[in-house]
Structure 1
């Protein structure tokens, strides 16, 4: 890799050593990355081609079709409690998740993917690295997020990046996660790392989605900006006036469906970063 960041190299090496994959593929922002991962998702049976060229379908396991509230935990220092949130002592959680992850990728290919939250080369940019043995998860993130390898190269040692380690674990004959009783999603705020194992459902496995949201909320509170579950859109007014605003609307009300329609002005349908830039509130679509 061209990326000059010892912390990144140490992180990747640690989890390759722990999870023990048989093959490693490193993405570098080239078009061949997406083509390769799409092909592997079909080859490994996680996705199936449809009659429409370029379209595939993925089926989650019967017992893996929602966020796992019971086994999703925030790892906290000893004695710390956060009201209304499922927490676990940090050292205990890391010990358990590392035991489950030991050798979990044996016989599988792992994909190391680099993305960014927010636009590149901006005050909003947050780099992120995803390690996953699921071509389906990697494929989904390529659709949803901006590529970030070159941004890691540009930032070098200055990159303050989020980290995600995911394994679908052992798969059944339908190529879905088998050991659901060992499904764990642990969020370590201290190291800005999320661990997700024995699951393929997007809300549990795609690190840059709602799992990253938990990390960016913490960072935003610490640094004095906002990471919000809000859409971002433009309203056109008289005399060619353009006004942008954010809004917190509930799930299933049509934000995503509406933003896909031609001529609509929804810039972002899910998450927004809001910062003070030159005395004004400015917002970007995270995805």
Structure 2
């Protein structure tokens, strides 16, 4: 019996092959040659054609001609509107009820609960992954998916996460009834008919998505954006390498190659195969006349990953190049080097706050061939969002907000949603690294963790070793962001910046990291923590950030090269005074305040971290982490 039947038990797999495939004659193939596909792909498509009951099947090839056809349809429907000032750029407005990742409705389904969530203690909130039993999951899915594509086209999207054919890449097939998803997936992943050749009769990650609006749909459709927000349900099956998403058309909920596959499912695959799937940017930095170093960095969503990945240095002569801005797949090679690839092919970045001053390279990346979601549009055919005020010449120009209302700069309210996005090809980034699609990946020298920490946490510090570095990552906290459904300025735990993206038991995940430290012959990267967001007594940021972050990366590179520019502290190695180049910004930086370690703050912080890990990870917390916590407490008590 197929594992597929854990969720759809009413059809036997043999019947799929013997009955449903011949019946495809009754479901028109709108595009593509179904019978030329690999056998496993045909069975997968046939199964869901019978189960979801679409009016037709559209097998995608990722071509420009295909995209043009879909764009014209969406323009006629009113879903997309052209931005006339740019080449092949469009704006899309979603239903206001469908604007962000919905973590509360995102589940991991495994037969054993503790394959997904740790053995928690006391009042654990279970924030490190949500488990659902196969039986309960089946009930939820059975009440949603049967016949949910009636009257709609079923798009079949073959895609590769990572360069097509790379030993570090993985293949997926997404089935969806959203042509917006098709357009974004062809930007964010590698969609091409070559996938079928590479796949052959091998395995692939199964991705099933529906907006949950079969026709005739009796509810009002807002902004030409069909969705079913009251019924959103996103289920991951790591043991089966499968994702099923219902009700939402927004980004991470529907572009299943992104967080669902590239993190939650890949996270479990990486554990099984001995590598790492992480919520990290990858960048190469070269100082004048020096060697290039590669850095991976993990920050929660909307905490500056894209800005750092595309950093425009304020120090002359530095070269910064972007490999990826959001996700890293990393594997140790036979030489013991940690090699990383960016599994994605595009950027799905937060638009508000992005401008020619804060991130000129991101701006340059989406000047053509891009899709903007929930941004505003000016009357002369340009995009607009908060942060672009100083870059609009005509301050009285008419603007249509993301809610379709007329608005002008200076009026109350916001023009764009705080989580408005740009979706653009990575190849268009002016500083994209020449090796960004190297099938062997790039060698990682340092790993950074960080978040929005307004008090107590210094600009940068280095861990005392690999195990301590894993604790530093596990202890990450940050203010909540607009990327998910949370509101306010609450400081939340976000260990390894993976809290919303864990695909299996977090205690086992920490142990997976630690086991690399137990192996001999591996060239382990140094691990650091950075905090661009510390504020002073006046409430202003103590560090200028953006392009000046190169100064911190300069210090990181010095440490990678084992230069003696650090001093021991209770929390790790801190920069020696003067070891960070402050030329030109001396009057903006209060060094002592920026690197101060208030004892009471850190004593409270490590106690709170210990309580969090005890509560949320419980019996699955590795002993090495407990030992590192104890060492840190002892150091803090001696401050």
TM-score of the two chains, using structure 1 as the length reference: 0.91
Task: Give the C-alpha shift of residue 79 in structure 1.
Answer: 5.0
In the alignment, which of 14, 36, 57 is matched to residue 24 of structure 1? 57
Maintained 8 Å contact 1:45/1:175: yes
Equivalent residue, structure 2, for 1:82: 117
In the alignment, which of 174, 183, 188 is matched to residue 130 of structure 1? 174
**Alpha-carbon deviations, 1:119-148, whole Å to 9, x = none?**
122111101111111111111111111224
- Stretch deviating more after TM superposition (160-169 or 210-219): 160-169
- d(CA) in 2 for partners of 1:59 and 1:74? 29
Maintained 8 Å contact 1:273/1:283: yes
**Cα separation, partners in 2 of 1:190 and 1:91, compared to 1, 3 Å:** farther
Maintained 8 Å contact 2:286/2:320: no
Maintained 8 Å contact 1:112/1:130: yes
Task: Give the C-alpha shift of residue 39 in structure 1.
Answer: 2.5
**Cα separation, partners in 2 of 1:95 and 1:153, compared to 1, 3 Å:** farther
- d(CA) in 2 for partners of 1:31 and 1:264? 31
- d(CA) in 1 for partners of 2:305 and 2:112? 40
Q: Unpaired runs of 5+ in structure 1?
A: none
- Stretch deviating more after TM superposition (169-178 or 70-79): 169-178
Equivalent residue, structure 2, for 1:183: 232
Give 3-state SS (helix, strand or coil) of 1:100's partner: coil
Equivalent residue, structure 2, for 1:274: 330
**Cα separation, partners in 2 of 1:277 and 1:79, compared to 1, 3 Å:** closer
- d(CA) in 2 for partners of 1:74 and 1:3? 34
Task: Give the C-alpha shift of residue 94 in structure 1.
Answer: 2.9
Equivalent residue, structure 1, for 2:441: none
Equivalent residue, structure 2, for 1:222: 272
Give 3-state SS (helix, strand or coil) of 2:195's partner: helix
**Alpha-carbon deviations, 1:176-221, whole Å to 9, x = none?**
2343221111111122111111111112111011111100000001
Equivalent residue, structure 1, for 2:197: 153
**Cα separation, partners in 2 of 1:253 and 1:70, compared to 1, 3 Å:** closer
- Stretch deviating more after TM superposition (95-104 or 187-196): 95-104
Write out aligned runs for 1:225-236 (5 A): 225-236=275-286
Give 3-state SS (helix, strand or coil) of 2:155's partner: strand
Equivalent residue, structure 1, for 2:343: 286
Task: Give the C-alpha shift of residue 269 in structure 1.
Answer: 0.3
**Cα separation, partners in 2 of 1:173 and 1:245, compared to 1, 3 Å:** closer
Task: Give the C-alpha shift of residue 156 in structure 1.
Answer: 0.3
- d(CA) in 1 for partners of 2:257 and 2:242? 11
Equivalent residue, structure 2, for 1:211: 260
Maintained 8 Å contact 2:328/2:343: yes
- d(CA) in 2 for partners of 1:117 and 1:197? 22
- d(CA) in 2 for partners of 1:48 and 1:180? 23
* CA RMSD, 1 decimal: 2.2
Q: Unpaired runs of 5+ in structure 2?
A: 1-32, 119-125, 313-318, 345-639
Maintained 8 Å contact 1:3/1:152: no
* Higher RCO (Cα < 8 Å, 6 or more apart): 1
Equivalent residue, structure 2, for 1:59: 93
- d(CA) in 2 for partners of 1:82 and 1:163? 23
In the alignment, which of 8, 11, 14 is matched to residue 47 of structure 2? 14
Task: Give the C-alpha shift of residue 82 in structure 1.
Answer: 1.1
- The alignment of Structure 1 onto Structure 2 pairs a total of residues equal to 286
Maintained 8 Å contact 1:258/1:264: no
Relative to total residues, which structure has the larger strand share, 1 or 2? 1
Maintained 8 Å contact 1:237/1:243: no
Larger radius of gyration: 2
**Cα separation, partners in 2 of 1:79 and 1:236, compared to 1, 3 Å:** closer
Give 3-state SS (helix, strand or coil) of 1:124's partner: coil
